[in-house]
């Protein structure tokens, strides 16, 4: 506006904007920039809060979150006997014990198991059928948070799955119809 008034002065024409126009515009610009600053400050506060929240998670919670957020974790199996593997990982991510439908007693889950599954989803897609959910043999390691069942159709493949499990102290058992891994 000031520049346009100046141009008009130079051309000997009447100024297009009155001092009031200029003052009003200046106030508006000032208000808008103050609002933008307030939004920036608010954003910064939210970001710091998020950082603090992330830092407050335990390594096991972070791993469980990573598994849940990975496009490579597939939870397609729904066990007729109750619960889902996803609910187990969600409980871990929230810092709680995983629910065990078969016994009704929630259990801690071995961190090596969570670490192994997190490493698997880094390498490829896995179909996670059972963590602490489902019905297994009496006294099953699933009920103790020490076993996980992966589907044979997991795109990552059983060879890679077993190799990654072994790196984290996991072992496949004798079952051939699915990949049962124990972490003792």
Q: What does the binding site for Zn ion look like in residue numbers (CB under 5 A)?
A: 149, 180
Residue 46's Cβ-count burial label (10 Å; 0-12, 13-18, 19+) is exposed
Q: Least distance from C-beta 46 to Zn ion, angstroms?
A: 42
Nearer to Zn ion, 20 or 177 (CB): 177
Q: Of all residues in this chain, which one has the CB nearest to Zn ion in the complex?
A: 180
Q: Least distance from C-beta 71 to Zn ion, angstroms?
A: 24
CB atoms within 10 A of CB 17: 15
Nearer to Zn ion, 115 or 180 (CB): 180
Cα separation, 176 vs 67, whole angstroms? 25
Nearer to Zn ion, 65 or 120 (CB): 120
Q: Least distance from C-beta 42 to Zn ion, angstroms?
A: 48
Query: What is the secondary structure of 76-122 as a DSSP string?
Result: ----TTS--HHHHHHHHHTTSPBP-TTTS--B---HHHHHHHHHHHH
State CA 90 to chain mean position distance. Answer: 10
Nearer to Zn ion, 91 or 131 (CB): 131
Q: Least distance from C-beta 136 to Zn ion, angstroms?
A: 6
């Amino acid at each position: 506006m000031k520049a346009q008034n100046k141009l008009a002065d130079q051309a000997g024409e009447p100024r297009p904007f009155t001092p009031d126009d200029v003052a009003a515009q200046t106030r508006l610009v000032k208000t808008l920039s103050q609002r933008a600053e307030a939004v920036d400050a608010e954003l910064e506060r939210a970001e710091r809060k998020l950082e603090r929240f992330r830092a407050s998670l335990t390594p096991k919670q972070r791993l469980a979150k990573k598994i849940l957020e990975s496009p490579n974790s597939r939870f397609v199996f729904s066990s007729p006997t109750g619960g889902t593997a996803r609910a187990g990982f969600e409980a871990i991510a929230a810092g709680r014990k995983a629910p065990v439908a078969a016994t009704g007693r929630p259990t801690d889950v071995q961190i090596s198991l969570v670490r192994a599954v997190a490493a698997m989803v880094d390498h490829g897609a896995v179909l996670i059928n059972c963590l602490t959910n489902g019905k297994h043999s009496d006294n099953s390691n699933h009920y103790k948070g020490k076993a996980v069942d992966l589907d044979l159709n997991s795109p990552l493949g059983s060879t890679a799955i077993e190799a990654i499990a072994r790196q984290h102290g996991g072992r496949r058992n004798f079952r051939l119809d699915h990949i049962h891994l124990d972490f003792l």
